[in-house]
Amino acid sequence: MAEINIKRIKGDFGFEAKDSNGHSITMDANPEIGGVDFGVRPMQVLLIGLGGCSGIDIVMILKKQRQVVKDFSMKIEGERENGKEPSLWKNITIVFELTGEIEKDKAERACELSMQKYCSVAETLRKSGTSLTWKVKVNGQ
């Protein structure tokens, strides 16, 4: 069972979350409602989790295929529902950028497997109605 402990440590909405290993992340509300830009917004933490989850999957898959990943980055953009409470993620787009000795078709397949089969965060978001799309670039192409 996972355990996360959260404590308010700055202003009204500045929280620090720690896992059972002592790793932490800071969160805060939007300054428009009283936050002080102390940390990541909680809904953005979901996008961070999506990136981490899919990234781990993709690297694992490519390593099993003997592909050499020298660098890996991604850009994640999300659009939330307007005028709703709660305001869920409506659309999320990811651009995966990999460099190394990687066959493009293998990279594309690894990303597809992660996003459609293995990534638990992607599936959690999909079940809430989020549309997930992605693009894969290998060695700049």
Amino acid sitting at position 75: K
**Residue 114: CATH number of its domain:** 3.30.300.20
Same domain, 118 and 62: yes
State how many domains the chain has: 2
Residues in the chain: 141
Report the chain's mean pLDDT, rounded to a whole number.
Answer: 97
Q: Which of 14, 95, 101, 113 is nearest to 57 (CA)?
A: 113
Angle between helical axes of 42-64 and 104-113 (0-180°, round to 10): 130
Digit-coded pLDDT (tens) for 61-82 = 999 999 999 999 999 999 999 9
DSSP string computed for 75-120 = EEEEEEPSS-SS--EEEEEEEEEEEEE--HHHHHHHHHHIIIII-H
Give pLDDT, residue 79: 98
State whether 120 and 81 are in the same domain. Answer: yes
Check whether residue 78 and residue 52 sit in a common domain.
yes
Instruction: Kindly give the pairing relationship between strand 4-10 and strand 24-27.
Output: unpaired
Q: Are 74 and 126 within one domain?
A: yes
Same structural domain, 65 and 102: yes
Report yes or no: 24 and 2 within 8 Å, Cβ to Cβ. no
- What is the rounded distance in angstroms from the CA atom of residue 109 to the CA atom of residue 112? 5
pLDDT at residue 96 in the model: 98
| Same domain, residue pair 11 and 70 | no
Q: Are residues 82 and 116 in the same domain?
A: yes
**Are 59 and 125 in the same domain?**
yes
* Arithmetic mean of pLDDT, 122-132: 98
Same domain, 129 and 67: yes
> How confident is the model at residue 58, as a pLDDT?
98
**Averaged pLDDT, 125-140:** 97
Residue range 9-25: mean pLDDT, rounded: 97
Q: Are residues 49 and 82 in the same domain?
A: yes
pLDDT in tens, 101-111: 999 999 999 99
- Same domain for 74 and 16, yes or no, is no
pLDDT value at position 35?
96
* Residue 97 belongs to domain spanning: 42-138
Task: Please report which confidence band the pLDDT of residue 114 belongs to, taking 50, 70 and 90 as the band edges.
Answer: very high
pLDDT-derived band at 138 (thresholds 50, 70, 90) equals very high
Q: Are residues 73 and 133 in the same domain?
A: yes
Q: pTM of the predicted model, to two decimals?
A: 0.94
